[in-house]
Amino acid sequence: MKQQIREFLKKNRAVPGDSEFNDEESLLESGVIDSMTMVDLIAFLEGEFGITVEDDDMTPENFDSVNAIVAYVQSKQSNPSTC
């Protein structure tokens, strides 16, 4: 899952470039995601992992790093009533 998310972010990053980012790095501060990229990311997560991202879930705690995104997706998958 982590690799799929990293590959998506590398291909669709807000600021083009080859610079690497680590799994704890703030994706917003590093220019990997912006509001438009966030929309694409959410669509990717919903399609790829069979979850539904609720408006209330769109917080920095859930989407600011690769590790946060993975934890969020895993929590949605482990609790089917929130998918």
Q: What are the pLDDT digits (tens) for 54-78?
A: 999 999 899 999 999 999 999 999 9
State the pLDDT at residue 20.
82
Contact 45, 51 (CB under 8 A): yes
Burial of 45 (0-12, 13-18, 19+ CB in 10 A): buried
Q: Please state, in angstroms and rounded to a whole number, the distance separating the CA atoms of residues 6 and 30.
A: 14
pLDDT at 19: 72
**Tens digits of residue pLDDT in 17-62:** 767 889 999 998 988 999 899 999 999 999 999 999 999 999 989 9
Q: What is the CATH number of domain 2-11+24-82?
A: 1.10.1200.10
Residue 55 Cα to chain centre, angstroms:
14
CA dihedral 57, 55, 66, 21 (to 10 degrees): -130
What is the reported pTM? 0.89
pLDDT at position 83: 55
